[in-house]
Amino acid sequence: MSRTRTSLLAALALLTGTSGAALIAAPAGASTAATPCTVDYKVQNQWDTGFTAAVTITNNGAAKSSWALKWSYAGNQKISNGWNAKVSQSGAAVAAANESYNGTLATGGSASFGFQASYSGTNAIPATFTLDGVTCNVDGGPTDPGPTDPGPTDPGPTDPGPGGPKAANPYVGAKVYVNPEWSAKAAAEPGGSRISNQPTAVWLDRIAAINGVNGGMGLRAHLDEALKQKGSGELVVQLVIYDLPGRDCAALASNGELGPNDLDKYKSQYIDPITSILSESKYAGLRIATVIEPDSLPNLVTNAGGTNTTTDACVTMKSNGNYEKGVSYALDKLGALANVYNYIDAGHHGWLGWDSNLGPSVQEFAKVATSNGASMSDVAGFIVNTANYSPAKEPHFKVTDSVNGQTVRQSKWVDWNQYVDEQSFALGLRDKLVAAGFDSGLGMLIDTSRNGWGGSARPTGPGPLTSVDAYVDGSRIDRRIHAGNWCNQSGAGIGERPTAAPAAGIDAYVWVKPPGESDGNSSAIPNDEGKGFDRMCDPTYGGNARNGNNPTGALPNAPLAGHWFSAQFQQLMQNAYPPLP
């Protein structure tokens, strides 16, 4: 792998840069009112016949409503595809114009795009760039670090940089990023200011989210805001990596934009641009915790063949291997960054808690973490209960309890599961993962954003001992109709507040699913986000094999997944446990 970085500054007259590189004046014919700009051109990944590159334009002059960057190659480089810009090539000449969503460049504002290309022989950096007719030149002399030397100020792909070596637990001693977009929505709700200062994850659930959707904050904007929140201490930014080909093969509500065979697009237009932004030296002091592709690998274990929960879509994704290849690629590229901590999603106890599921899950996780370029060192830990409702702890009964000689595992609710809550599941899974070769310092995360189950329906002690079912149903704080119900659950409440190191082996309680964001629409809603209508979000639906053919327990009048759901937010606050002040 090689990584080339060159900074180019347009100017009206000859200048000398502080790095020692000569910055050349615009040639005759260039506008005398030229707008200064900075162009950052990086070769990210290079192999014998091709490479990917990332380009960032920073506008240092008057605001622009559109832009066009042009350059020519000295060699035989041929661009095959690009992302976040309209990239075209004629002979050696290349032109990149803005997309509709990133044309605005304020003074000091930036836009980024990338591309994949082929080449043979040498792959020299273009010598000349023009932005809207303004020529930018740079002297690539001995002061330029070049493709293999990261230089004294660039931490490079393997140097931890100012952040130092990775922390054993990134959450310890660190603040966690408060997403200002979610915070504003929460604060606008009656009573919402009680939790609007809590940290929540940023979901990168489509390619457009990298640069911001409909004027919203993109990844770089979030990271810039995180630097402000960080101050002089440590800060964790939580990102959900969520755009696999054929995403969520068992739940239509969270289907994505990429088709089952769009693995190359996932790599080049989604993971590569994210990696490029995160690798920028100014973000090296942030701790980035990534939640890798919720529900994907668990679906391969339980819904891809041989059971009554099998779906054709999951069979397809197991057959073509693109979930595994995509997750491995994400682990490899993101894990190479010294300040990134990858946490693989591991479902929840009501999904994988049976031995018949847990053993194969560990095998699946180990396979993905040791193939297609990934290694176990790319994995900081695993996360359970992402966007789900299972309690961190069931305080009134244990899986080892018995009633009248019957184990609680025989109850209809537990259904022979080995676990009854998420913390015991997380620690049990952790032991098996370490035994399978993962690092002994592996850390677990638990999403507690909606698993509090407070309010008047919360049991205050164990249930009656008249039968095993009466005991379990009277004891459990999880008030769902069935543990397989996952969509906008009626009666749910906010759970434990985000907390670092709440128990040995648990890195943190986190709010990955931002409270108030819908799980899915309760009736069909046309949309351009690739999201379907899943009957598990319909409160009138009688269920399927994955929830024991029980009612869904979903709230009515729900919007599309990820959209703001005020009624749910109010209920979550009302039923919060611990209660809100």
- Interatomic CA distance for residues 254 and 272, integer angstroms: 23
- Which residue from 166, 186, 167, 234 is spatially nearest to 511, judged by alpha carbons? 186
Instruction: Find the angle CA(241)-CA(245)-CA(246) to the nearest 5 degrees.
Output: 115
Which two three-digit tokens encode residue 29?
Answer: 């014919």
Residue found under tokens 């661009």: 79
528 is catalytic: no
CB-CB contact of 94 with 142 (8 Å): no
Between CA 205 and CA 216 the distance in angstroms is 13
Dist. CA 5–CA 144, nearest whole Å:
8
By the 8 A CB rule, do 518 and 558 touch? Answer: yes
Cα–Cα dist 293/271, whole Å: 12
Residue whose structure tokens are 């966007």: 387
Q: CA–CA separation, 178 vs 237, rounded Å?
A: 8
* CA pair distance 470, 476, nearest whole angstrom: 10
Q: Do the beta carbons of residue 449 and residue 514 sit within 8 Å?
A: yes
Catalytic residue among 295, 345, 421, 538: 295
Which DSSP letter does residue 269 get? I
Residues 6 or more apart in contact with residue 157 via CB below 8 angstroms: 1, 3, 150, 279, 336, 337
CA distance 423 to 392: 5
Residue 295 is among the residues annotated as catalytic for this protein: yes
Catalytic residue among 262, 507, 519, 534: 519
H or E element that contains 93: strand 93-97
Tell me the C-alpha distance between 70 and 55, whole Å. Answer: 12
Rounded to whole angstroms, what are the CA distances from 120 to 3, 43, 47, 124, 302? 17, 15, 10, 11, 45
φ, ψ (nearest 5 deg) of residue 115: -160, 165
* Spatial CA neighbour of 300 closest among 373, 252, 249: 249
What secondary structure, in 3-state letters, does 341-369 show?
Answer: EEEEECCCHHHHCCHHHHHHHHHHHHHHC
Do 448 and 195 meet the contact criterion of CB atoms below 8 Å apart?
A: no
| Residue 186: half-sphere exposure toward Cβ, Cα within 13 Å | 23
Known catalytic residues? Answer: 295, 519
